[in-house]
Every structure is written in C-alpha cells, then in structure tokens.
Amino acid sequence: MNLKKIGGKKFLVNLLSDFIMGKIPSEENSVIKIVDCENFYVIKGKTTSKEVLFIPNIISEFNEKYKEYVDGRNLTHTIDLIEYGAEFEGVTELTHTFHNHTPNCSYHYKEVEDFENLVEKDDLIFVSEFPNGYSLTQGRDLYYYCKHIFYSIPSNYLHTSFTFTISKDKDDDGDQKIVVHDEFFKHDDERLKSAILDMFDFDFNKLSDKMKKVDWSIELTNPLEEHDVLKEPVKDFIII
C-alpha cells in the first residue's frame, strides 16, 4: 500500500470510490471501483443492495464537499456500471503488510519521510484500490483488525514490518487462523502469533461497529493520522 499525492488523480479515484460506497447500507456486500480515463470516470461496482443510487446527485455532492481537492476538474462526466442485487459472498481471509516507526502502519517510514515531495507519475488511467471502495464485509474489517493488532504489539518487540494473513475461520485445533510473517527475519513468528491468539477475541463485528462511526475520508485527506479506535491498546499484552 502506497501513499497518494493529496489532490492527485489516484487520490481522487480512491476518495470518490469511498464516497459512493458510503451511500450504500453498511451491512451490504459492496465493491466500488473508479477508473479515471481523463475525459470521463467509469464507476464500476457491485453490491447486494437493490437500492439504485442516483449518481449525478452523488457526484455533485462530492464536488461540493471536496472542492478543495477537485480543483476545477470536471467530475461530471461519468459512466455508471454498478450492478445491484448482486450475489456474492463476503471476504473471509486477507493478507496485508504493516510497518513500524511510522504514524500510520499502512505506510513504510521511508514513504512517510518522502511524503511532502511526493510526485504522482502520469498514466493512461488511474484506478481506485483497496481498501477504498470496499465495504467492511469485503476484507476491510480484516484490514482494520490487523491494524488494531499491530498497534498493540509492545514497542520493545523487535520488528519493522510484519505481513499478516488473517482468516475468519478456525484451524483444526479450534484456534483462529492467523500467520504472522516477520519481514526482517524472513520467517513466521510463532511466538508473536501465540501471544496474539491469547490476547485477542477476534470479534470482528465489535470493531466494525466502532469503525462505522468514524470518518473514513481522513485515511486519504490526512493519511499520516490514524483512527483512534484502532490504536486502543489491549491491556497486558505480553510476549513470552
């Protein structure tokens, strides 16, 4: 996951995808992808919701709310390809990498150091990407839960980056399926995994309910900040 230039084209397609997705009831399975084709925007997506969105009004609202970022660009030319009443399941497993020594663990500290001088490379199209435009049930809840775990790891535990593979399913022993791969030592950290299994209840719904109440747009408009709810520490986290 890479930092985006504030106000850039990649930033805008991500912001718009989340804005549209926010108009769909949160209990629905939904994925919204935005493609910036220079002269128009393609809105591609699917949702289990049967309530059809009126995209022109949503675009107008978006242009007004985020006019400081739109900066005179014409976001009115759109092609709506959203599929409603779609039949598809929620995501039950996610693999993602998180980083230490940074205000937001989604980004490597070297990216953060270069953020002020970030230049967006030109391209033929720009496509929104996960987690923006994805409902909680489409892996975003797992993404947030991994961040919650990461922020709870004691600061004195030697780590720079970890890749988590987390599942909503149980293994043969009845434990939550989770793999923690240490990017520095290049191995699976069984000691840390054991501590995580001891300290976390893996109640994804409880964290999701909290995340429904926060403003997700700050993940783009102020990416070096983090949601306070994700940084709430788990007490007495001890790695033996």
pLDDT one digit per residue (tens) for the chain, 240 residues: 899 999 999 999 999 999 999 999 999 999 999 999 988 999 999 999 999 999 999 999 999 999 999 877 768 889 999 999 999 999 999 999 999 889 999 999 999 999 988 889 889 999 999 999 999 999 999 999 999 999 998 877 867 899 999 999 998 888 899 999 988 778 899 999 999 999 999 999 999 999 999 999 999 999 999 999 999 988 777 787
Q: What is the pTM of this model?
A: 0.95
Residues written for the chain = 240
Q: Count Cα neighbours of 216 within 13 Å in the Cβ-side half-sphere.
A: 26
Positive/negative CA dihedral, 61, 64, 65, 69: positive
d(CA 156, CA 147): 18
pLDDT number for residue 234: 83
Say if CB 44 and CB 35 are below 8 A apart: yes
User: Pairing between strand 161-170 and 126-127?
Assistant: unpaired
**Where do runs of H (alpha helix) occur along 120-169?**
140-152
Say if residues 82 and 46 touch (Cβ distance below 8 Å): yes
Q: So what's the pLDDT on residue 74? A: 67
Q: What is the largest CA-CA distance in the chain?
A: 57
Rounded Cα gap, residues 69 and 139, in angstroms: 27
**The pLDDT value given to residue 103:** 93
Closest Cα partner for 17 from 128, 125, 141, 173?
128
- Spatial contact of 6 and 29, defined as CB atoms under 8 Å apart: no
Amino acid at 87: E
